[in-house]
């Protein structure tokens, strides 16, 4: 059974994000999933992330929303339960179903991360991710230099070489760059860091593509990848941490300028541009 919806009351490119507009906003389209239940969850999740249903806004009443989606009220209720479990919705008898504040969402939930990566606000979210990388990756590199086995160092070296081979083949670059950074997290031998690198792969892809979109961006980032690899190989933990910070600062400064963050300044270097 396919999801259907009636004619949208609000254009998708200019959604009404207010809670009291008097019109029901048109839902963001979703990719076909395993089941109708999954498709409803994704469609509602994307609509919340993109701001069609703004923070603090009430969803349409159950009968109307089920009608818009072309599904039964039972299917809708089960989908809402999933979004409640992800911290995105709050259901109360007198107030109905309300979108919770974003800081209450389970931001490391794989589906929430994927919806953020697919949403029309993906650039600011990618910037948030670069701040996360600035905090996490230098210490992961420090630990990798101290703890990596010889085999893990070889994997890091192989991934670095594969990344350098992506010059002229940028379609391969995102997967290879993610593999490079994940291999460093694995070599840290910290279970939380290892898990985080897997959870954040979707938004990492968005950030990598965004910060390597201009000619020369990717190539400018390659020397620091090689320096980081050599520092870990030499088991020089302080150097690995410093190089990792400089490497993470490149996309941070790039995206800061593109999302008009006037309060941003260099952390490890004077001025750097480039890819991840």
Give the CATH number for residue 28.
1.10.10.10
Check which CATH number belongs to the domain holding 131 and give it. Answer: 1.20.120.530
Inform me whether the pLDDT recorded for 169 exceeds 50.
yes
Inform me whether the pLDDT recorded for 259 exceeds 80.
no
How many of the other CB atoms lie within 10 Å of CB of 193?
20
- pLDDT bracket for residue 217 (50, 70, 90): confident
- pLDDT bracket for residue 247 (50, 70, 90): very high
User: What is the C-alpha to C-alpha distance for residues 181 and 179, in angstroms, rounded to an integer?
Assistant: 6
Question: Minimum mean pLDDT among 8-12, 52-56, 85-89, 182-186: which range?
Answer: 8-12
How many of the other CB atoms lie within 10 Å of CB of 68?
20
Are both 139 and 27 inside the same structural domain? no
| Strand partners for 91 | 97
Segment 21-33 mean pLDDT: 54
Question: Minimum mean pLDDT among 51-60, 85-94, 194-203, 207-216: which range?
Answer: 207-216
Are both 103 and 125 inside the same structural domain? no
User: What is the C-alpha to C-alpha distance for residues 144 and 141, in angstroms, rounded to an integer?
Assistant: 5
Segment 189-205 mean pLDDT: 90
pLDDT attached to residue 201 = 87
Between 44 and 209, the higher pLDDT residue:
44
Question: Minimum mean pLDDT among 2-6, 78-82, 141-145, 247-251: which range?
Answer: 2-6
pLDDT attached to residue 225 = 97
Query: Where are any strands of DSSP class E within the chain?
Result: 89-92, 96-99
- pLDDT bracket for residue 9 (50, 70, 90): very low
- Does 267 fall in a domain? no
146-160: pLDDT as tens digits: 999 999 999 999 999
Are both 97 and 226 inside the same structural domain? no
Q: Quick check: helix, strand or coil at residue 138?
A: helix
101-126: pLDDT as tens digits: 999 999 888 888 888 777 666 677 78
| Strand partners for 98 | 58, 90
User: What is the C-alpha to C-alpha distance for residues 222 and 160, in angstroms, rounded to an integer?
Assistant: 9
pLDDT attached to residue 29 = 53
- Does 112 fall in a domain? no
Are both 192 and 82 inside the same structural domain? no
């Amino acid at each position: 059974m396919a999801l259907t919806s009636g004619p949208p009351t609000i254009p998708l490119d200019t959604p009404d994000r207010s809670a009291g507009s008097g019109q029901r906003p048109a839902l963001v389209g979703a990719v076909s999933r395993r089941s109708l239940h999954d498709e409803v969850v994704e469609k509602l999740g994307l609509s919340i992330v993109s701001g069609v249903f703004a923070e603090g806004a009430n969803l349409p009443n159950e009968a109307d929303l089920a009608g818009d989606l072309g599904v039964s009220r039972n299917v809708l209720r089960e989908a809402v339960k999933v979004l409640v479990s992800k911290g995105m919705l709050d259901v109360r008898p007198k107030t109905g179903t309300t979108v919770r504040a974003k800081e209450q969402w389970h931001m490391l939930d794989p589906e929430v991360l994927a919806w953020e990566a697919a949403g029309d606000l993906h650039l600011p979210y990618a910037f948030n991710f670069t701040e996360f990388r600035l905090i996490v990756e230098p210490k992961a590199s420090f630990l990798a230099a101290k703890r990596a086995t010889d085999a893990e160092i070889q994997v890091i070296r192989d991934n670095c070489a594969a990344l350098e081979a992506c010059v002229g083949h940028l379609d391969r670059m995102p997967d290879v760059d993610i593999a490079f950074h994940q291999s460093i997290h694995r070599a840290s031998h910290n279970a939380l860091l290892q898990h985080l690198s897997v959870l954040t792969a979707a938004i990492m892809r968005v950030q990598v593509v965004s910060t390597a979109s201009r000619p020369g961006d990717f190539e400018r980032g390659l020397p620091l990848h090689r320096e980081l690899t050599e520092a870990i190989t030499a088991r020089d933990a302080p150097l690995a941490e410093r190089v990792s910070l400089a490497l993470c600062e490149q996309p941070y400064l790039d995206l800061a300028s593109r999302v008009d963050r006037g309060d941003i300044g260099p952390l490890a270097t004077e001025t750097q541009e480039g890819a991840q």
